[in-house]
Amino acid sequence: METPAAVPDHLFVCVDHVGLAVPDLDEAIRFHTEVLGWRVLHRETNEEQGVEEAMLGTGAQGAENAQIQLLAPLRPESAIGKFLDRSGPGLQQLAYRVTDIDAVCTVLRERGVRLLYDEPRRGTAGSRINFVHPKDAKGVLLELVEQGAGH
């Protein structure tokens, strides 16, 4: 008989970030920094995910706040390209931070939830990520994020 996976005390640590699909990253950064007052904490291109992205934070001392992730498509057939085509700009994903993404994926699979990838893939700043299909999460694309070593 297989040993059941250990169930972590809590699956999720906190909301890590909220992802917004945008057609033009620089234009979206301008709005979020100049009008809303957020600060760009990190920017990178993720070829595998087909995105150019920026992570924004408040910059306030001691603030432990979820970040805002701006996601622009590198190509029309990418996840963000298809999302923009179907729904237009807006909220694309909700990302939960986890401490052990492998354990959390195992537990969720045991509970009948579909994950998009067999193994976690590379996310922002060396993080490891996977996604719960929106059809299994009440219409919301849920991302699971285990932070990279540099965090």
| Distance of alpha carbon 110 from alpha carbon 97, whole angstroms | 20
# binding residues, ligand V0V (CB under 6 A): 26
Helical (H) or strand (E) element with 94:
strand 90-97
Nearer to ligand V0V by C-beta: 7 or 151? Answer: 151
**Shortest reach from residue 6's CB to ligand V0V, in Å:** 26
Nearer to ligand V0V by C-beta: 104 or 129? Answer: 129
| Distance of alpha carbon 87 from alpha carbon 65, whole angstroms | 27
Region of 114 on the Ramachandran plot (φ > 0 left; ψ -120 to 50 alpha; else beta): beta
Q: Does 83 bind ligand V0V (CB under 6 A)?
A: yes
**Shortest reach from residue 14's CB to ligand V0V, in Å:** 15
For the chain, helix, strand, coil in percent to 5 are: 25, 35, 40
Residues at the site binding ligand V0V, with contacts judged by CB under 6 A: 19, 46, 49, 51, 69, 71, 79-80, 82-83, 86, 92-93, 95, 116, 123-124, 127, 129, 131, 133-135, 139, 141, 143
